[in-house]
Amino acid sequence: MTSTLNRPAEGARVARVIPRPNEGLWPGLADPPTNKFKAAIAEKLFRKAVRSLDVRVRFPDGTSIGAGNRTAPVMILVRPGAFFARLGSDAKIGFGEAYMVGDWTTGPGTDLADLLTPFAARISTLIHPSLQRLRNVVERTQPKEEENTVDQAQENIARHYDLSNSLFEAFLDPSMMYSSAWFEDGDDLETAQLRKIDGILDLARVGPGDHILEIGTGWGALAIRAASDRGARVTTLTLSQEQAALALVRAEEAGVAHLVDIRLQDYRDARGSYDAVVSVEMIEAVGEDFWPTYFAALDRLLKPGGRVGLQSITMPHDRMVATRKAYTWIHKYVFPGGIIPSIRAMETNLRAHTKLSIVERRDIGPHYAYTLKQWRDRFVAAWPELKGQGEFDETFRQMWEFYLAYCEAGFRVGYLGVSQLGLARNPFVKA
């Protein structure tokens, strides 16, 4: 009798063949766990969960499960035994790892984000409530060594943002903004990203001659626009050496290097007093234990009468509380040490540790789903060139596609959101 551990599904022959992961690059990933008891439990729970989802899951023997009709997204279990073994070992990590190694794939004509969306829409109810109460007992928690202390934060940032500037140039638009855009009808991605930047600068009331502090440089787009379009001086902080180097080149090419001071510095070490402080999707990398320090820094560095423009990914407060300590696939492979805050958590920290409050709010969550879709399309189109450079292998491609599609699905269903926030000590100052 042939084991299903390594037997490919019939429909998977049209899928891209994923080579065995390089052990030196992906230690421990190639071989699935061997706990048959956990795998059996995982299979039982998966079958029960999928029974009511608008998908079709196909097995090697030709059978399928799921509530989806013929047009529903199709998931093909290429190696069901390996898939359930990974799921049983750690569902929050194993599902993504199984995609990385090719244990499952999408059916012909099925978009990965389309398949993940039904799962994302039911993510809080797929697991029975009685099992969810055991979450803190059975789930892995974020490792202590990845907490965003002053010493560790730079290493956490480097693991993602220092991968390669050429990687990010391949799928980002010319603005090189790596955060949600803000679209209006007919916008291309670059136009929508510039609108997003202007929205943050407007919330911070940035004008000519202002000296602003940016926490999280990226590749310099916001700092360059604040200097070139608004005549502001910008001090901008980053922990990424790759980003700092390219941001400096871009500022010089834009003719504003004399107005932009790029520093390799932790926000906790920042000193001075600024007319405005801006920070775009950096708070997600701060870590819950350091939110008080982060918000206190905004307050400490802001001049009287100044404003803060903040953009943050958000999630519902109850989901944030339920998952705050969980160690997920995203933590392991993409953003170590991170946590997405809720609006309520930010308001609580502002009240407890600052004199600031949220006085303006703009929600653009659905815009992130569209942004991520464009990034993924660009990444796939650029893959042959990226692969030719020799820095990234097929396992990386699988990882990056899953990351972008996984996030897109979360924003599609509202499990994740994005808010642009204006913070002030007094809502009527500096109008």
Mean pLDDT by groups of 10 residues along the chain of 431 residues: 41 65 95 95 94 96 94 97 95 95 97 96 59 50 77 82 91 97 96 98 98 98 98 97 96 98 97 98 96 98 97 96 91 92 98 96 97 98 94 96 97 97 77 43
DSSP letters along 408-427, please?
Answer: HHHHHTTSSEEEEEEEESST
DSSP state of 146: G
Count of CB atoms within 10 A of residue 208's CB?
7
Q: Where are the domains of the chain?
A: 10-138, 144-424
Residue 117: strand, helix, or coil: helix
Q: What is the pLDDT of residue 2?
A: 35
DSSP 19-37: PPPPTTTSTTTSSPP--HH
The residue type at 46: F
Beta carbons of 191 and 174 less than 8 angstroms apart: no
pLDDT of the residue at 8:
46
Give the pLDDT score at 153.
Answer: 82
Answer yes or no: are the C-beta atoms of 337 and 141 closer than 8 Å: no
Look at residues 12, 110, 131, 128 and name the one whose alpha carbon lies nearest to residue 54.
Answer: 110
In sequence order, what DSSP letters do the residues of 100-112 get, joined into one string?
A: HHTSEEEPTT--H
Query: How far apart, in whole angstroms, are the C-alpha atoms of residue 51 and residue 256?
Result: 58
CB 425 within 8 A of CB 304: yes
- In order of 75, 300, 341, 372, the CA distances from 295 in angstroms are 43, 9, 13, 28
Q: In this structure, how many other beta carbons lie within 10 angstroms of the beta carbon of residue 269?
A: 10
Distances (CA, A) of 70 to 55, 73, 128, 416: 9, 8, 28, 29
125 burial type by CB count under 10 A (0-12 exposed, 13-18 middle, 19+ buried)? exposed
Token pair of 165 as six digits: 């500037």
Nearest in space to 382 (alpha carbons), one of 111, 172, 165, 222: 172
- Report the residue count for the chain: 431
H or E, element range at 158: helix 150-161
Tell me which residue of 35, 84, 80 sits closest to 59, measured CA to CA: 80
CA 48 to chain centre: 29
Global pTM value = 0.91
SS3 94: helix
Cα–Cα distance for residue pair 273/212, rounded to 1 Å: 9
Q: For residue 42, what is the enclosing H or E element? A: helix 36-50
Instruction: Report residue 357 as tokens.
Output: 């409050």
With beta carbons less than 8 A apart as the criterion, state whether 181 and 411 touch. no
Q: Does domain 144-424 have CATH number 3.30.70.270?
A: no
Helix (H) or strand (E) holding 401: helix 394-412
Q: In whole angstroms, what is the distance from residue 349 CA to residue 251 CA?
A: 34
The confidence score (pLDDT) of residue 141 equals: 76
- The residue among 190, 185, 177 whose CA lies nearest residue 216 is 177
